[in-house]
Amino acid sequence: MRFDSVKSPTGWAYAAAVWLAVSFVWHLQMGIMYRNAMGPGSTGPVWAFLAYDGLITGMSIAGVVCVLAAVKPWGRRIPPRLARWPLWFGCALLALRGVPGLVENITVATGVTPYGLLGMEKESVDTGSWEFRKSMVINSYFFLGAATLIPATALSARRVRVARSAPQRV
C-alpha cells in the first residue's frame, strides 16, 4: 500500500483509526478494571465513571467505523452526513481537549507560565513530578488524535465535494 500525498485522506484515516482503536482498548480496560482506574481516593459514584467510560468506548468504535467509511469503498453506501457529522464532532472534542492541555504543558515546562496557563496553581508546577509527566503524555495523546482526525475528516470531505462536482461518465 502506498500513500502518494499528504493531501490524501487515506493515510490520515488509517492513522486516526489506529488512534481510535488504541483509545477503545484503553477505555475498555479502564471499564473492566474500574476500581484501579478510579483510584483509591475517588468519591464519585461507580455508575457515573462506568457510564462516562462506556460513552468514550462507544465513541471510539463509532469513530473507527466513520473514519474508515470516509475513505473505503464500502463507505460510499453510507450517507455522507451519517459519517461526517460524528467525525467533525470528534475533531472538535479532540481539539478542545488536546490543544489547550498540551499548550499548558509546554508553557509550564518552558517556564513561561510556571503557575499554569491561567496562573491558578498555588505553587509553581513541579515539571519533574510524575503527575506533570503523566498529564504531558495524556495531553500529547489527545493532541495526536486531533492531529490525525482533523486532516482525515477535512480531506475526505473535500474528496467527496470534488467527486460530486466532477462530470459523471455515462
Q: What is the DSSP letter of 53?
A: H
Residue 44, C-beta contacts closer than 8 angstroms, at least 6 positions apart = 38
Q: pTM of the entire structure? A: 0.81
pLDDT tens digit string along 21-34?
A: 999 999 999 999 99
129/117 Cα distance (integer angstroms): 17
Name which residue leads in pLDDT, 97 or 116. 97
> In terms of Cα–Cα distance, which of 41, 46, 88, 83 is closest to 65?
83
What pLDDT was estimated at residue 122?
A: 84
The yes-or-no verdict on residue 168 having pLDDT over 80 is: no
Q: pLDDT grade, residue 91 (50/70/90)? A: very high
Q: How far apart are the first and last CA of the chain?
A: 30
94/74 Cα distance (integer angstroms): 26
- Pick the most confident of 72-76, 82-86, 118-122, 139-143: 139-143
Q: pLDDT grade, residue 108 (50/70/90)? A: very high
Q: What mean pLDDT, rounded, does the chain reach?
A: 88
pLDDT tens digit string along 115-153?
A: 888 888 888 888 889 999 999 999 999 999 999 999 999
Q: pLDDT grade, residue 59 (50/70/90)? A: very high
Mean pLDDT of 78-92: 91
Mean pLDDT of 77-90: 90
Name which residue leads in pLDDT, 7 or 161. 7
What pLDDT was estimated at residue 57?
A: 96
138/67 Cα distance (integer angstroms): 22
Map grid coordinates 475528516 to a residue.
Answer: 153
